[in-house]
């Protein structure tokens, strides 16, 4: 009985097998994309932290430069 079903409906069986393998391939591709996206997201988070730290350092340097500029201007005004 099963042999006759397969013989009579060979195209349906082959189509089903192809559909199963295609679904597996698609699932594998989506899994790979998900892993890649997670990796990119982690790297982006690290870069955002580095940029934030650099901005903080730059702000401190700018404050120090403005302080020194103001101090030098005040010292020059006192001498005049």
Whether 74 shows a pLDDT value over 90: the answer reads no
pLDDT at 56: 97
For 11-54, the pLDDT digits (tens) are: 888 899 999 999 999 999 999 999 999 999 999 999 999 999 99
pLDDT at 8: 78
Taking alpha carbons only, the member of 29, 65, 72 closest to residue 57 is: 65
pLDDT confidence band for 80 (50 / 70 / 90): low
Show the tokens assigned to 43: 């790297």
pTM attached to this predicted model: 0.58
């Amino acid at each position: 009985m099963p042999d006759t079903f397969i013989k009579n409906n060979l195209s349906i069986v082959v189509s089903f097998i192809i559909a199963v393998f295609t679904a597996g391939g698609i699932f594998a591709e989506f899994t790979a994309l998900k892993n890649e996206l997670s990796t990119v997201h982690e790297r982006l988070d690290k870069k955002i932290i580095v940029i934030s730290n650099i901005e903080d350092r730059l702000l401190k340097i700018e404050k120090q430069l403005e302080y020194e500029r103001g101090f030098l201007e005040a010292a020059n005004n006192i001498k005049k």
